[in-house]
Amino acid sequence: MTNQTKRIAKLTLGWLLVVVGVAALVLPGPGLLALAAGLLLLSQQYEWARRRVEPVRRAALKAAAESVQSAPRALITLCGALLVIAVGAVWGIHPPAPGWWPLPDRWWLFAGWGTGSTLIFSGIVAIGLMIYSWRRFRSDGPETALS
C-alpha cells in the first residue's frame, strides 16, 4: 500500500468515525469514543483536529476518573452498562408492542437487532472502559487522574 493510499484510508476512516460519533451522540452507540477515535486519526493530517484531541482526551480522562471515584459510583456505572446490554437484548428479540403504545406497531422497537446489537456493543464497551478506569484511577490515586 502506498503512502498516498494509507493517507486516504486514514482520512476516510477518520471522517467516517467523526460522522458516526456525532450521530451516536443522539442515537444508541459509543458516540464520544467514535468521535475521539476519528479526531485522533484526523489529527495526523489536520492542525485543527490536533488542537481538539487534547481537550477531548482530558475530558474523557476526567469522566473516567469520576466514574470510579467511589465504589457506589462504580457500581451504578456497571448497573447502567448492564441495563444498556439488557435493553439491547430485548430490542433485538423484539417482543410485541404493549397495549399502551400509541403509535403503529411498526414503530415499536424498530430496526430490531440492528439497534439491539449497537446497544449491546455500547454496554460492553462501557464495561471495558470502566475496568480500565478502575485499574488506572483507583490503584494509582487521584494525583494521576489527568496525566
The 10s digit of each residue's pLDDT in 88-147 is 999 999 899 999 999 998 888 888 898 888 889 889 988 998 898 899 888 655 444 444
What mean pLDDT comes out for the span 28-43? 82
Stretch 63-76: mean pLDDT: 87
Which is more confident, 70 or 27? 70
Query: In the predicted model, is pLDDT for residue 29 greater than 70?
Result: no
Residue 81 sits at φ, ψ, to 5 deg, of -65, -40
DSSP one-letter string for the chain: --HHHHHHHHHHHHHHHHHHHHHHHHSSS-HHHHHHHHHHHHTTT-HHHHHHHHHHHHHHHHHHHHHTSSHHHHHHHHHHHHHHHHHHHHHHH-PPPPTT--S-GGGTTTTHHHHHHHHHHHHHHHHHHHHHHIIIIIHH-GGGTT-
